[in-house]
Chains A and B, each alone.
Chain A
Amino acid sequence: EVHLEESGGVSVQPGRSLRLSCTASGFMFGDYAMTWFRQAPGKGLEWVGFIRIKGYGGTSEYAASVKGRFTISRDDSKSVAYLQMNNLKIEDTAVYYCSRDMYGDEPPEYFQYWGRGTLVTVSS
């Protein structure tokens, strides 16, 4: 059974950094791109970005709202994806979800598996 679990969400001040983790189990982690989404309180879903599998270079793509501040990485040996968030802004306050798509597409498309999310609060 596919299982994803996010961790690392805390309350931080603007301008600080934070790293979230997404620990996966139940599938061959290295065969799937991993995607991060977020949802601000009371708002809709927002795609943050994803990281390709090593076979496609292991590179990442990002939403314009986080590009240059956020970095997604992965450790296939540990089945973990990371979201490094730098220079955090108040508007980055959200529940952050990691997700795996259905087929291992490039780019990932059908987001069938989600973690429960981890809350990041950016406040002074």
Chain B
Amino acid sequence: SSELTQDPTVSVALGQTVRITCQGDSLRGFYASWFQQKPGQAPLLVIYDRDKRPSGIPDRFSGSSSGNTASLTIAGAQAEDEGDYYCNSRDTNSDHLVVFGGGTKLTVL
């Protein structure tokens, strides 16, 4: 299956902007979704179809993509944004399969 690569850790000062990236060959053909996960909780979809936000997700979350890289940007990071972030997309080899990045732990300082 395809692989998606994320930086393991990222930090941001409170109120500043942070970008979390996800790289992989599957992103040349499929858009990424992004999930936020806090300890002991289920994942929460924050971005889908590259740049769309589900209802209830603050507009400080945005998504973009270029080539084989997808990005999640949090503009004006808040303390409650701290957690793990995962990207996912369909698999290049078979579009009914799903691949995830390894996750990025975001720390808000």
Contacts and interface: CB of A to CB of B under 8 A. Distances in A.
A117 B42 contact: yes
Contact of A112 (B45, B90, B99, B101): B45
Contact of A47 (B45, B48, B98, B102): B98
Nearest to B86: A45
B29 interface: no
Interface residues of A, number: 20
Given A107-B95, A110-B45, A115-B42, A44 B86 contact: yes
A44 B103 contact: yes
Contact of A114 (B33, B42, B95): B42
A111 B45 CA distance: 7
A45 B43 contact: yes
A115 B41 CA distance: 9
Nearest to B104: A44
B33 A47 contact: no
A1 to B, nearest CB: 12
B88 A45 contact: yes
Interface residues of B, number: 24
Contact of A44 (B42, B49, B102): B102
Contacts of B88: 45, 47, 111
A97 interface: yes
B82 to A, nearest CB: 17
Contacts of A114: 42-44
Q: Which of A50, A109, A114 has the most CB of B within 10 A?
A: A109
Q: Which of A50, A61, A110 has the most CB of B within 10 A?
A: A110
B58 interface: no
Interface in A66-124: 97, 102, 107, 109-112, 114-117
A116 B43 CA distance: 9
Interface in B81-97: 86, 88, 90, 95-97
A117 B95 CA distance: 25
B100 interface: yes
Contacts of A35: 98
